[in-house]
Amino acid sequence: MNIAYPPLRVQPHQQRAETELAINLAECVVPPLWPLDGAIAVNPLAGFEELPIEQARAEGADLFDARTSLPLAQWRQLLAAGRVTREALRGAAIAALGGYNEAFVMVGPDVSRLDCLMARLTVLPLPAPRAVPEDPGMDLVAKWCAAFFDGGTATLAMPGRDRGLYRAVLALIGHDAQLKALAQGAPQALLAAVPRDAVDAVTQGLEVLGVVEGERIAFLRGLIARLPGWAGHVRWRQHHADADQVAAAPATMADLLALMLLVVRAAPATRERPRVAPVIDDVAGQLARHFGLDRAAIETALGPASVADEAALSAIFQRAAEIAYRDALVSRLVPPAARDTERPAAQLVMCIDVRSEPYRRAFEAQGPYETFGYAGFFGLMIAVHAPHQPRQRMLPVLVSPQQDLTMVPAPGQEAEAAEAVARERRAAATRDLFGTLKGGAATAFSTAEAVGPLAGAMMVARTLFPRAAEAVGRRLKGDASALAPSIDANLPGRGLAFAERLAYARALFALTGMKRRTARLVVLAGHRGHTVNNPYGAAYDCGACAGHGGAANARAMAAIMNDPQVRAALAEEGEALPEDTIFVPAEHDTTLDEVTLFDTCCLPASHAEDLAQLKAALAAAGVANRARRAALLDRAPDDLEIGAKHWGEVRPEWGLAGNAAFIVAPRALTAPVDLEGRAFLHSYDWTIDPSGEALATILTAPMVVAQWINCQYNFSTCDNRRFGAGDKTVHNPVGRLGVVRGNGGDLAVGLPLQALFHDDGTPAHVPQRLLTIVHAPVALVEQVIAGQAILRRLFGNDWVQLVVIDPESGAARRWRGDQEMSRDPSGCSAFEPLEETIG
C-alpha cells in the first residue's frame, strides 16, 4: 500500500490500546463476508473507496496480488462479439493518448501513435498469463479457521471453541504436522512463549518481527489481505451477526491476526506474500515487427503508447465500453411530453433488480398495465420468526431490524399451515436423528447401509426426473406459503404499531411517485431465484432482503396498505385511495419467470374478473420473458424449468450479470427503451419531492446496494481467482459459511465462474462502472449530493458515473469527478453538458 500511516502517539502503558486501534484500522481493508444462507453482494475493494477509483484499483491489485481489470484476451473476445465497438475503443484510445494532437504524432510512414496503441489493444501478442504462487503459511491458517468455524456440521467438533478462535487453535496446533513442516521442526518453545491473549500476541508478534510503529497498520493490512475470505467472515461475526449465531464460537480480528503472526514467527519465509515477477514485454520490438519499422526510431517516437501495461490497456477498453453504453442509453431516454391520466387495469410494483426490468416490459405489453420499481424489501425494517426456524432478517444487511414479525397461518390456509409446521418439525427431528446415527461410532456403517438404497433412488430421480423429484420434496415439506407475517401489534414484542404502518405506507408513495389513482388491483411482488444443490442459491434471491426471498415483505406491505386504519389516515391527509383498490402480495421467481400471487382467497367477488385477467397477463409475460432469457442462455425455454430443478445445473440463470445502470426516474422515461435487463429501475417523481428527501434516500440506500452488486460482478469477472469463487465443480461448502476450492484454502469472496462467463470463456458480464441516471433538476441533485458524504465520495472518486436529465429541457449533464463539490470552493456546478464531453 502507498498510504503512509503516522505513528500512533500513545504512552507505553497504552500499548494494548495502540494494538487494538491498529487492528481496527487494518481490518477495514476487507469488507464483511456474509454466510451462504444470506449471501449478499459486497465490493471487495470497499476499503479503498476513499481513493479515486484508478488509484484504488492500482493499490488493491498490489495488496491482494490480483487483477482489478479484465485481461486483454477477454476484452478482445468482447470486441469480437460486438459487446465493445471498435469506434468506441478508438475514441477511448485517443483520450488515453492525451487528445488528437498527441494521438496523431507519426512514429513512421503512415503509422501514428494511435495506430500503435490500437495494435497493442487488438492484435499484438497477448501478455504472458500471471503466475499464481501458493501461500502455504496462510493456507495453514485457513485450515484452522475451517475446523473452528464448522457451523455445527462436523461429527467431531474442535474442542474449546467457546474460548475463541485463537485460544482454541493454540491448544491443538502443537501436533499439527503442516506447522512442523513449515517451521522445519516442532515449534514447542514458540507455542509455550506466546501470550494466551490474542491482542497481546499480536503486540508481541509485531515487536519480535521488528515492525516499527508507523508501519504496523500497513503490515497488518497486508496479512489480512492474504486471507480476505476468512477475514471477511470474522468481520461479519464481529459487526453484523446476531449474538446467538456466534456465541458458541467467538472470534475477533485479533484472533485471526495472532494466528497469522504465529505462523510467520514459526516460519519466517512466510512473512511476505509469495509473488512471481511479471514478464516485461518488448513493446517497441513487437510494434517494429508488426509495422515493419526501425525499432530504435519507433521507441523514440512512441511516447505514451509504449508505457501502458496490461492494466492500462484494459482500462482503455473499459472506458470505451462505459462511454459507448452511456451515450447510447442517454440518447434514447426522452422525457415524456405528457403524463398518462387514465386509470390502469392493474399495477405491478417490483424490485429494482435488473431481472425485473424485462419482465415489467413484457407485462406492460399485455395491456393497459403500469409498473413501478421499488427496493425489494418495500422499505420494511423487519425480521421474521417462523416456527422451528431461526430469526431471519428481511432488510438490507447494513441496517438493523426495527420490528419483528411472527409467521402465522394465512387467512383461509389454517389447515395447510398446521400441516407445514408439523412436517417441518418431523423433518428437523429426522435430520437430527440421522446426524446422530451417522456420527456414532457404533451406528455409522449400519446407518449408511440402511439409507443407501433410498439415497440411491433419490439420486437417480434427481438426475433423470428432476421435476418429479422436486414435487416429491414439496409434498414432504408442506406448503410454506400457508404462513404469512402478522403485522398485529398485539403479539408480545412483535408486529407493527399504527404509526409504523402509516409511515411505511407514506414511504411507498413518496419513494416511487405512485399516484393515488391506483388500480383496482395493485400487486406488490418480491422476488427469489429457484435452484437446487447450489451453495450460491442466495445470490439469486433478493439482496435488499438480506439474501432471502421477498415474499414475507410483500405480504406484510400488502397487509399495511389494505389496513382500514391506514387507509383512513391517508384520506384524512388528503391522500385517499380509491375504495375498490386492493393490494395483492406476490413473489417473482426470476429463474422460472413465474409470479405467484398470495392471499387471493381474501379478494371479494367484485374483483374476480380483474384477478383472472391479471393472472393471464402475468403468465403471458412470463412466457415471453422466459423465451428471451432462454436465448441468452442458448437453451430452450422448457429447459430453464428443468435446469432450475436439476441438482447438477451450474447455471440456472444469469442472475445480475450485465448490470450497468441505475435509473431514478418515472417509468414513462424508460418504457419505450429495451434496457436488455442491464438496468436497476427505481421509480421516482421529482415533482412531489421538493426537499430532495426521497431522492437522498434512493441514492444513499438502493443505489449504494446497486454499486456493491456492480463492483462484485466487475471484480469477480476481472480476477475470478482472487475476487470470485472459481469453478463450481470444485466447490466444497464449509460449515454453511462459504465455499473453498478443492480441499482447502481461503473462503471464496465473490461469484462463481459459471455466473459470469460463457462455456467458451467469453465474459457474459462486461465490467464497467455503474452509471446512475437521475431524472430531476440539476439544482435538486446538487443539493442532495452536497448533504451526503457517501455520494460525494462515490461520485467524486469516480466509483459511480452520474448523469442528470433535466425534466423540462431533456438535456443531459454529466458529473465531473475532478470538480467534486466538496473540493470546489467556488461553489460552481459540478455538472457539464454531456454532449460537450470527451470520455
pLDDT, tens digit, 9 for 90 and up, residues 759-813: 999 999 999 999 999 999 999 999 999 999 999 999 999 999 999 999 988 899 9
Query: What whole-number percentage of the chain has pLDDT above 90?
Result: 69
Residues 101 and 116: their CA atoms lie apart, in Å, by: 15
Mean pLDDT, residues 73-98: 95
The pLDDT-based confidence of 445 (bands split at 50, 70, 90) is: low
Contact 44/749 with Cβ under 8 angstroms? yes
The answer to whether position 405 is within a domain reads no
- What pLDDT is stored for residue 824 in this prediction? 37
Residue 667 forms part of a structural domain: yes
Q: What pLDDT does 211 receive? A: 95
- Binning pLDDT at 50, 70 and 90, where does residue 491 land? confident
pLDDT for position 45: 97
Sign (positive or negative) of CA dihedral 176, 177, 179, 180: positive
Beta carbons within 10 angstroms of residue 391's beta carbon: 13
Query: Would you say 103 and 93 are in contact if contact means Cβ atoms under 8 Å apart?
Result: yes
- Highest mean pLDDT of the ranges 292-296, 338-342, 793-797: 793-797
pLDDT at 120 over 90: yes
Q: Distance between CA 681 and CA 675 in Å, rounded? A: 10
Nine-digit cell at 53? 477509483
Residue 42 covered by a domain: no
Report which of residues 565 and 413 the model is more confident about: 565
For residue 648, pLDDT over 90 is answered with no
Lowest-confidence segment of 13-22, 150-159, 724-733 by average pLDDT: 150-159
805 found inside a domain: yes
Angle between helices 608-632 and 356-364 (to 10 degrees): 130
Residue 46 domain-assigned (yes or no): no
Alpha carbon of 254 to those of 24, 259, 328, 376, 670: distances in Å?
9, 9, 50, 36, 50
Q: Which pLDDT score, from 0 to 100, does residue 8 have?
A: 46
Residue 352 confidence (pLDDT) above 50: yes
**Together in a domain, 567 and 650:** yes
**162 and 207 in a common domain:** yes
- Beta-carbon count within 10 A of 703 CB: 24
**How confident is residue 426, by pLDDT bands cut at 50, 70 and 90?**
low
136 pLDDT exceeds 80? yes
Residue carrying the nine cell digits 476499503 = 47
Question: Which domain, by its residues, includes 674?
Answer: 658-839
144 and 265 both lie in a single domain = yes
Final residue of a structural domain among 657, 685, 711: 657
* 290/376 same-domain check: no
For residue 538, the 8-state DSSP code is G
Other beta carbons less than 10 A from residue 493's beta carbon: 9
Q: If pLDDT is split at 50, 70 and 90, which confidence band does 425 have?
A: confident
Check whether residue 509 and residue 376 sit in a common domain: yes
State the total domains in the chain.
Answer: 5
Mean pLDDT computed over 29-43? 91
Position 771 in a domain: yes
Strands (E), 615-665: 661-664
- Co-location of 752 and 793 in the same domain: yes
Task: Return contacts of 435-439, CB within 8 angstroms, 24+ apart.
Answer: 438/155, 439/155, 439/156
Contact status, residue 714 vs residue 768, Cβ threshold 8 Å: yes
Is residue 838 predicted with pLDDT exceeding 60? Answer: no
What is the spatial distance between Cα 311 and Cα 61, in angstroms, rounded to a whole number?
10
Interval 221-271: pLDDT, tens = 999 999 999 999 999 999 998 888 888 899 999 999 999 999 999 999 999
Is the pLDDT confidence value at 449 over 50?
yes
Both 165 and 191 in one domain: the answer is yes
Q: Which residue has the higher pLDDT, 111 or 825?
A: 111
State the pLDDT at residue 411.
85
Domain match, 553 and 472 both = no
pLDDT class for 815, splitting at 50, 70, 90? Answer: confident
In tens, the pLDDT along 656-666 reads 999 999 999 99
Is the pLDDT at 186 greater than 70? The verdict is: yes
Domain boundary among 595, 627, 657: 657
| Enclosing H/E stretch for 697 | helix 693-700
- Tell me the pLDDT of the chain averaged across its residues: 89
824 residue type, one letter:
D
Residue 768: which of 725, 798, 796 has the closest Cα?
798
Do 610 and 509 share a structural domain?
A: yes
The pLDDT of residue 121 is above 70: yes
- The answer on 829 and 766 residing in a single domain is yes
User: Residue 504 carries which side chain, given as an amino acid letter?
Assistant: Y
- Same domain for 826 and 702, yes or no, is yes
pLDDT in tens, 537-552: 889 999 999 999 999 9
> Is there a contact between 686 and 695 (Cβ–Cβ < 8 Å)?
yes
Q: What are phi and psi of 803, to 5 degrees?
A: -130, 135
Residue 810 in any domain: the answer is yes
Burial classification of residue 185, based on how many CB atoms lie within 10 Å of its CB (0-12 exposed, 13-18 middle, 19 or more buried): exposed
Helices (H), strands (E): how many in the chain? 33, 19
Given pLDDT bands bounded at 50, 70 and 90, which one contains residue 432? low
Residues 266 and 148 in one domain: yes
Q: Could you tell me if 357 and 372 are in contact, meaning their C-beta atoms sit under 8 angstroms apart?
A: no
**Any idea which of 145-154, 387-396, 722-731 has the lowest mean pLDDT?**
145-154
pLDDT of 131 reads 78
pLDDT at position 820: 43
**Domain endpoint, select from 476, 505, 537:** 476
Task: Please report the pLDDT score of residue 363 as a whole number.
Answer: 98
- Do the domain assignments include residue 87? yes
Kindly calculate the radius of gyration of the chain based on its CA atoms and give it in whole angstroms: 29
79/81 Cα distance (integer angstroms)? 5
